[in-house]
A and B are shown apart, each in its own frame.
Chain A
Amino acid sequence: MATAVEVRDLKAWFGKTEALHGINMSVESNHATAVIGPSGCGKSTFIRCLNRMHETNPEAKAEGEVRIGGVDVYDVPAVDVRRRVGMVFQKPNPFPTMSIYDNVAAGLKLNGTRNRKTLDDAVERSLQQAALWDEVKDVLKKKSGASLSGGQQQRLCIARALAVNPEVMLMDEPASALDPISTAKIEDLIFELKQKLTIVIVTHNMQQASRVAEYTGFFLMGNLVEFDKTEKIFTNPSDKRTEDYITGRFG
């Protein structure tokens, strides 16, 4: 198995509070890995450490290794890390005043790409990959990102993240604010996207984790309690705490 993200002894703090207590995990390339656990267990903190978003909080710090493509993300500038590791959040956050086109092209422009043809191609490719192209191709520059439906906005955010060709895509509850149809589109999209990149998804929806992810990690109070193939986690987990959580016996 090829490893996309290798996490070793990762600890994270908010002020003096230790939120992650030494996480070890190998995320397999071109697969989706789900991170589940009760609120406050550290799952969002964990994925925010993978692209150094955690440290954008002035009170926060992290320690340990997060190797992506063999390079420790803490040895290179954060902006370079975020180019390689895209992120999609729970609430769609398109740039409200920008057109659909500019939303998708924003990352490339920020990286200095000015060639019109290159931008056009990247916008089309990214919107195609995000399964949004057919719905917006005629209004790319006429409509703002904010004018789209919630589900479309989330796919726009995915397209925006895809435009810079990331190796890894982090998704923090990407469908929790969406209706079942939009959720199904996002899940189909995850299936398509993992042919090209590696996905780590935080979700509270265990059915969603079981549908989209090949691997699942269960977090509890800042610890990775169990990490295994998803089918094992949801049918016959090894740890009693995992079983109690997924069967709703605590939480």
Chain B
Amino acid sequence: MTRTRFHQELEELKHRILAMAGMAEQAVDLSVQAYSQRDIAMCQRVLNNEPAINRAEREVDEFAVDLLAMQQPMAIDLRFILAVIKINADLERVGDQAVNIAQRVLHLVEYAPKDLPVDIPAMASKVRKMVRDALQCFIEGDADQAKRVLEADDEVDRMNKEAFANLSACMQDHPDSAAQALDALSIARNLERVADHATNIAEDVIFWIRGADVRHHAGQTASRI
């Protein structure tokens, strides 16, 4: 009763979502680079690539739904497909956040550069590592590593709060920098959201591998799906 073809299709689903993950990761990388280099062309590339991510999301969803309907998966296979559907939505939103960052950069470059009390590249570096680690856990099916991604989110949350406090103070103290500070604040918030999506991906990996629902600190075994 070995279901060779079905398991090949699960592999195909994994390849497809990883291809989409590559696009979403690249969008974040580009948008952060665009911020650092104040590069309009890079922003434009992020905006131009978004429809491809959206298209990939639809294709992955359709493929996953077809497998659910046609193959009636069970246990770890069922959990894998459900995880992929959720990861798919998270990756699409990662792409949206990259677009938001790019739009903010396009706005920011209209103003003179200011020395702002926020280290966006440092925050971006942590966030990109979280995304990369979450996807690596997915590739390897490593629930232990996924737990470490969850822990990393606390650090990004802290950086976002710090950015909010410092940039709010900056806006009050230096009204002439308000526009730039507001853009930076939004970018920090967008990066924090990307980290949240990376966290969701890590939680989905834990669900797939262990059948455990760790969302919202549920910490209990999923007995019903």
Residues of A whose CB lies within 8 Å of any CB of B are 38, 206-207, 229, 231-232, 234-237, 242-243, 245-251
Contact = CB atoms under 8 A, between A and B. Distances in A.
Given A207-B72, A236-B75, A237-B75, A229 B2 contact: no
10 contacts: A38-B1, A206-B74, A234-B74, A234-B78, A235-B75, A236-B75, A247-B73, A247-B74, A247-B75, A249-B7
B183 interface: no
Contacts of B3: 247-249
B223 interface: yes
A250 B75 contact: no
Given A231-B224, A235-B78, A251 B72 contact: no
A242 B76 CA distance: 11
B1 A248 contact: yes
B221 interface: yes
B189 interface: no
A249 B223 CA distance: 22
B211 interface: yes
B223 A232 contact: yes
| Interface SS majority for chain B | loop
A207 to B, nearest CB: 5
Interface string B1-41: 11100110000000000000000000000000000000000
Contacts of B225: 231, 235
A219 to B, nearest CB: 14
B23 to A, nearest CB: 30
Interface band, chain B: 10 to 19
B130 to A, nearest CB: 27
Given A206-B74, A207-B72, A235-B224, A250 B211 contact: no
A52 to B, nearest CB: 31
B222 interface: yes
Contacts of B211: 235-236
A243 B224 contact: no
Contacts of B78: 234-235
Interface string B157-180: 000000000000000000000000
Contacts of A237: 75
Contacts of A38: 1
Contacts of A236: 75, 79, 211, 221-223
Given A235-B211, A235-B225, A247 B76 contact: yes
Contacts of A247: 3, 73-77
- Highest count of chain B CB atoms <10 Å: which of A206, A229, A232, A248: A248
A57 to B, nearest CB: 27
Given A206-B74, A231-B225, A246-B74, 10 more contacts: A229-B223, A235-B74, A235-B78, A235-B79, A236-B75, A236-B221, A242-B75, A248-B6, A249-B2, A250-B1
Contacts of B223: 229, 231-232, 235-236
A243 B6 contact: no
- Highest count of chain B CB atoms <10 Å: which of A38, A242, A243: A243
B176 to A, nearest CB: 58
Q: Which 4 A-B pairs have the closest CB atoms?
A: A251-B1, A236-B211, A248-B3, A246-B74
Interface string B61-84: 000000000001111111100000
B65 to A, nearest CB: 17
A236 B208 CA distance: 10
A138 B225 CA distance: 46
